[in-house]
Amino acid sequence: EVAVLRLGHRPGRDERITTHVGLTARALGADRVILAGDGASRADTVEDITDRFGGPFAVDTVDSWRPTLRDWDGAVVHLTMYGEEVQTVESEIREAHRERRDPLLVVVGAEKVPFDVYETADWNVGVTNQPHSEIASLAVFLDRLFEGRELDREFEDAEKVVVPQAVGKRVVDAGDE
């Protein structure tokens, strides 16, 4: 399992960002997003997309992220601009995860992430050591983790399927592709 834990949602300011963390986790091959604290308010939007475009993808909400992090039974990757370069540690992380018995938790922040997260993580990973975004770092990290295979994933139990077009938009009911 690969789960994404979103910490530190700021009401008002982070609504779309937290939604996009969930949608990106789903689209790029994670199995689950865990929305902590006020971020739980975005669960319905992510679940609605899963209902329409398929899964499996789980959305969990927790009051506080600390127990999830502390009790995680597997490896923890914290994405941070201060971390080790993704290109240096990606193969080590892939190997640790290859045995699917070792579930991977990918942690992304919003505002300043408390230092104990850095200490708890098995890897602090930077997607470049430049400041940017939790959505961008999550997307690149998942693509590296899955070595691009997530792009070919087939979603199950979808109501709607997008048919790729060079120009224009084509969305059909599932089963009619």
Residues that bind ligand SAM (CB under 6 A): 79-81, 108-110, 112-113, 126-128, 130-134, 137
CB of 155 to ligand SAM, least distance (A): 26
Distance between CA atoms of residues 9 and 43, nearest Å: 12
Nearer to ligand SAM, 131 or 164 (CB): 131
Minimum distance of ligand SAM from residue 2's CB (angstroms): 16
Distances (CA, A) of 170 to 93, 157, 160: 38, 19, 10
Nearer to ligand SAM, 107 or 161 (CB): 107
CB 2 within 8 A of CB 106: yes
- Residue closer to ligand SAM by CB (options 131, 168) is 131
| Position closest to ligand SAM via CB | 109
Q: Are 138 and 24 in contact (CB under 8 A)?
A: yes
Minimum gap (Å) between residue 73 Cβ and ligand SAM: 22
Nearest distance in Å: CB 9, ligand SAM: 11
Q: Among residues 143 and 155, whose Cβ is nearest to ligand SAM?
A: 143
Closer Cβ to ligand SAM, 59 or 79, answer by number: 79
Residues near 157 by beta carbon (within 8 Å), at least 6 away in sequence: 54, 55, 56, 174
HSE of 160 in the Cβ direction (CA atoms, 13 Å)?
A: 11
Q: Nearest Cα to 134, choosing from 12, 37, 39, 31?
A: 39
Closest CB 114 distance from ligand SAM, rounded Å: 9
